């Protein structure tokens, strides 16, 4: 969902009756979540189709997915609040919700595992 939301209208600039919509990629740094979403999707497809590859990747699955999703969440939150004097559109809300939904389960699992190990 985050990948798709990056192409939806995130911001609206209005001057009188004339208005212009911009997607999230108006912020140049939003290409990072775009690329990382593709990396995550490719990784998940790869390990689903070739489970033996999972053991060859040096980073544990949970660490990789948590890192990608938390990084995406931080960047999306920055972009959400860095609206450069414009109004939000529905794409910004969808993107923020998608980033939170993607990162929250990984963070909860990591926090609960950390609490159990103490």
Return the domain boundaries, the chain: 2-117
User: What is the reported pTM?
Assistant: 0.82
pLDDT for the residue 73 = 95
pLDDT for the residue 85 = 63
Using alpha carbons, select from 89, 85, 69 the residue that is nearest to residue 7.
Answer: 89
pLDDT single digits (tens) 51-93: 788 888 888 888 888 899 999 999 999 988 887 667 788 888 8
CA distance 30 to 44: 22
Distances (CA, A) of 64 to 39, 43, 54, 67, 69: 10, 10, 12, 5, 9
- Is 112 a residue whose pLDDT tops 90? no
Q: Strand pairing of 9-15 and 18-23?
A: antiparallel
Which structure tokens are listed for 78?
């920055």
- Tokens 């912020």: give the residue: 27
């Amino acid at each position: 969902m985050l990948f798709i939301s990056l192409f939806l209208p995130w911001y609206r600039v209005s001057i009188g009756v004339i208005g212009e919509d911009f997607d999230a990629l108006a912020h140049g740094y939003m290409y990072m979540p775009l690329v990382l979403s593709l990396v995550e999707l490719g990784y998940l497809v790869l390990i689903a189709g070739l489970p033996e590859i999972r053991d060859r990747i040096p980073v544990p699955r949970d660490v990789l997915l948590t890192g990608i999703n938390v990084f995406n969440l931080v960047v999306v939150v920055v972009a959400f609040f860095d609206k450069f004097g414009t109004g939000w559109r529905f794409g910004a809300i969808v993107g923020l919700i998608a980033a939170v939904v993607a990162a929250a389960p990984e963070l909860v699992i990591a926090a609960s595992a950390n609490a159990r190990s103490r």
